[in-house]
Structure 1
Amino acid sequence: MGPSVPAHLPILDLALADDPAQRPALLNQLRDALFDVGFLYIKNHGVSNSTITHLTSRLPALFDLPSDIKADLSKLNSPHFLGYSGFAEETTLGQKDLREQFDFATELPVVYKPAAEGRRNSASSNSNGGSTRDFSQLYWRLRGPNQWPPEALLPGFRQALETYHDALQALSYGFVHLVEEAFGIPVGTFDQFFRSDNRKMSSDDPRLVSDKPAPASTKLTYLPPQHRIKLLKYPPSSNRGQGVGAHKDSSGWLTFLLQIGQEAGLEVLAADGETWIPAPPIDGTFVVNFGNAFEAATEGAVKATVHRVTAPFPSSPARYSIPFFQGLPLDMTVSEIRSYMPLSVRTLRRQRENDDANNNVDKSSSSSTTTTTTKTADTVSSFLDARWDALGESQLRKWIRSHEDVGRRWYGDDVVKYYVG
């Protein structure tokens, strides 16, 4: 028999972390969700309802901005792929996604420098340890400031989005600590990915803070990453087509998705490689899933699960959602990330497969299922291709493949051909 298919995704109550007697059960739940599904809901997450509603209440007005204002905010104006994309301007699996969106990110200055000037820049000028860094690498051009709508047309929007960004950033850092604890990794191991010093990161919510000390570490040699936020609108579709096609997330370490309202659409591919599990909106929750880098770093112990979104029915209201993608340093490589992961974690998948074989699991069924899942994954992501071992390279490739017009404008036809061909 093949892998069992759950009827729904697990829901983890982070309030259990407050109780020493219940915390182990929460960590076991988290570990199972990481290993078996790669998708889960979290509730009692500590992000205030006011922080959420101050942003979500402004989404209709944002998407109703005049066409000329949206054009002024177009991604075509940004080498960082930040700004507005109109309906069906983004592609997944070669098909148009039936949605419109605004992309924002951690507000950061430009660091990219053309050729000779870029090689003269050193990391010491950016507070990251004094080692030299070549800022002429094209992927550094992804890093830069947002395009903001005029305050007069959308009062309070920027403040609402930056407050939400900061809350999700804190939640993501604290949740990473829970992931570390669930896998028996020293808490704070991955802090080096996100900060330029050795201070322990946590959410202000104490339920996300482990009492285990962070490990001693040397000062970072990475620039702190730029996290990204998408504000998405899925209008009703006459054929309920592809809101966004089947894919794995390649934009970061973890994704925290806020689904707004009651309109369903998100579906998650089960381990059998065939069944789609619905992931409808649940009040007071975020949906959490794991990116390709996490799967690669754990050698498959943590699943980066394929998922898709169908567009709403013609008679349904528009569907809004906000994914937050926890970023990683652009100059890290997959190999370097894996070096932070204990061998005990990286061998978990192989241990499970060996246990299944020893328990007389039907090998032919398991093999067939694995092939189906792998084929699906291969069609939606080449993240593990050795050519894209540098995260910056894989990110630049992802953005150019999704928005070729932006790529051609800012990076040129030869670069687009290299990454798309």
Structure 2
Amino acid sequence: MKVNLPVLDLTLWYAGGESRRRFLAELGAAARDVGFFYLTGHGIAQSQQQAVLQLASDFFALPQADKNTVQMVNSPHFRGYTRLGGELTLGKADQREQFDIMAEQSTAQVQSGEPAWWKLYGPNQWPAALPQMQNTLLHWQDQLTDLTVTLLRAFALVLQQPEDAFDSTIKDGPYRHMKLIRYPGRATEQAKQGVGAHKDPGYLTLVLQDGQSGLEVQTEQGWVSATPLPGAFVVNIGELLELASNGYLRATYHRVSSPPAGIERLSCAFFMAAQLDATVPLLPLPAELAKQAKGPASDPLNPLFYQVGQNVLKGRLRSHPDVAAAHYNALQHVV
């Protein structure tokens, strides 16, 4: 199978010594040159991956009325089901339906004058028709959290920082966001936007794909397909690592093209960021890295904030205008 992205084997990290140094060199090159890579050797069985994708298939196959009982517009915490065309990227409707969860939490009591991003804390919604969904997905989310924490520590070493350089920003647990996604076959040949081109707002993203291609990555050679590699996760860095490294590492634009008519695509995306009350540190890079750091990308239509909650809420409000209108009406002008 021909792949267009680097393939990294995490068993090299766990082996230590020269093997770990090789992994760090490959990680640095992949992150700096492409911003995306496949990850193998992570220890999560392919059978478990397939079980999660099957659960996604089971959920999206539910009657629409069952899915509507957990629709996201009911949740000020941006958790639950989003119908086909219900999420926007760059103001255009994405042709996918999805189910979002985050860490299972109590609703935060937001006091007058406190930042609105505190409202992101709260419980998930779970469909009564699939009672096994809660335990399965929360366990899966815990596994992926551990995996991304390991990668974040490896990135600290790539940036020639102490391995625990980011630990203070996740000491109470990183911000976690996961979504099951279904992309139906395109209705017309022109309706190709499964998800429009964008960068991810957190530290790291892990994507589990079924066998259908669709994820595409912007490179210097143009858009390339992240062809599904059985057993591997696709990993990309987000805007918080770009900020922390002053642009030495850059978040990469990516998109999803809808599959052909009559074919659907399933995936599970996991996003890991610093805890919402953290401020991303600007790391003191050594001179040989600092001279290659050009500062974070400047886009007046997508300002980046070092305060994590502010950055995360900005993205949520833009993507889900119905939730913004229902629960954040006073903030719509800021996005």
Q: Normalising to structure 2: TM-score of the pair?
A: 0.92
d(CA) in 1 for partners of 2:109 and 2:31? Answer: 36
Match of 2:226 in 1: 279
Q: Partners in 1 of 2:328 and 2:244 — Cα distance?
A: 29
- Between structures 1 and 2, the one with greater helix share: 1
**Kept in 1: contact 2:42–2:147 (CA 8 A):** yes
Tell me how far apart the structure 2 counterparts of residues 390 and 67 of structure 1 sit (CA, whole Å).
Answer: 38
How far does residue 54 in structure 1 lie from its aligned partner after superposition?
2.9
Per the alignment, in what secondary structure is the counterpart of residue 299 of structure 2?
Answer: helix
* Contact persistence 1:108–1:226 (CA under 8 A): no
Change (3 A) 1:352 1:85: closer
Structure 2 counterpart of 1:244: 195
Q: How many Å separate the matches in 2 of 1:276 and 1:112?
A: 44
CA RMSD of aligned residues (A): 2.2
- Is residue 326 of structure 1 aligned with residue 283 of structure 2? no
Q: What is the CA distance between 1:50 and its match in structure 2?
A: 4.0
- Structure 2 equivalent of residue 31 of structure 1: 28
Q: Distance in 2 between matches of 1:38 and 1:323?
A: 16
Unmatched 5+ stretches in structure 2 = none
Name the SS for the 1:58 alignment partner. Answer: helix
| Residue of structure 1 aligned with 2:321, choices 404, 411, 415 | 404
Percent of pairs with identical residues: 37
C-alpha distance in structure 1 between counterparts of 2:25 and 2:81, whole Å: 41
Matched, 1:419 2:334: yes
Contact kept, 8 Å, 2:8 with 2:27, in 1: the verdict is: yes
Q: Structure 1: how far apart are the matches of 2:140 and 2:326?
A: 31
Match of 1:263 among 200, 205, 212: 212
> d(CA) in 2 for partners of 1:179 and 1:389?
18
Distance (Å, rounded) in 2 between the aligned partners of 1:290 and 1:19:
23
Gaps of 5+ in 1: 1-6, 116-133, 197-223, 354-373
- Return the index of the structure with the highest Cα Rg: 1
Code of the residue aligned with 2:331 in structure 1: it is V
SS in 1 for 2:291: helix
Q: CA deviation at 1:19?
A: 5.5
Q: Does 1:296 align with 2:243?
A: yes
Q: 2:159 aligns with which of 183, 203, 213?
A: 183
SS at match of 1:309: strand
Q: Which amino acid aligns with 2:252?
A: T
Whether 1:148 aligns to 2:126 is yes
Shift in Å at residue 13 of structure 1? 1.1
Aligned-pair distance for 1:349? 5.8
Q: Separation in 2 of the partners of 1:51 and 1:383?
A: 38
**Structure 2 residue aligned with 1:342:** 284
Q: Measured at CA, do residues 290 and 57 of structure 1 come closer, stay the same or move farther in structure 2, by a change above 3 Å?
A: same
Q: 1: CA distance between counterparts of 2:115 and 2:69? A: 28
Change (3 A) 1:154 1:192: same
Pairwise mapping of residues 4-19 of structure 1 onto structure 2 (< 5 A)?
Answer: 8-17=4-13, 18=15
**Matches of 2:291 and 2:5 in 1, distance apart?**
24
Shift of 1:114: 2.9
Q: Match of 2:273, SS? A: coil
Residue in 2 that maps onto 1:254: 204
1:57 shift after superposition: 1.7
Distance 2:16 2:239 in 1: 32
Structure 1 residue 102 corresponds to structure 2 residue 99: yes
Deviation, 1:112, is 3.2
User: 1:55·1:157 contact (CA, 8 Å) conserved in 2?
Assistant: no
> 1:209 maps to which residue?
none
Indicate whether 1:42 and 2:39 are aligned. yes
- Greater strand share, 1 or 2? 2
- SS of 1:76's equivalent in the other structure is helix
Could you report, residue by residue, the CA deviation over 1:32-58 in whole angstroms, capped at 9, with x for unpaired residues? 111111111110111233432332221
Q: 2:179 aligns with which of 230, 233, 236?
A: 230
TM superposition score normalised by structure 1 = 0.74
Q: Offset at 1:327?
A: 2.3
8 Å contact kept, 1:300–1:349: no
Secondary structure of the residue that 1:42 maps to in structure 2? strand
Number of matched residues?
329
Answering whether residue 328 of structure 2 is matched by residue 382 of structure 1, we say: no
Alignment CA distance shift 1:142-1:155 (3 Å): closer
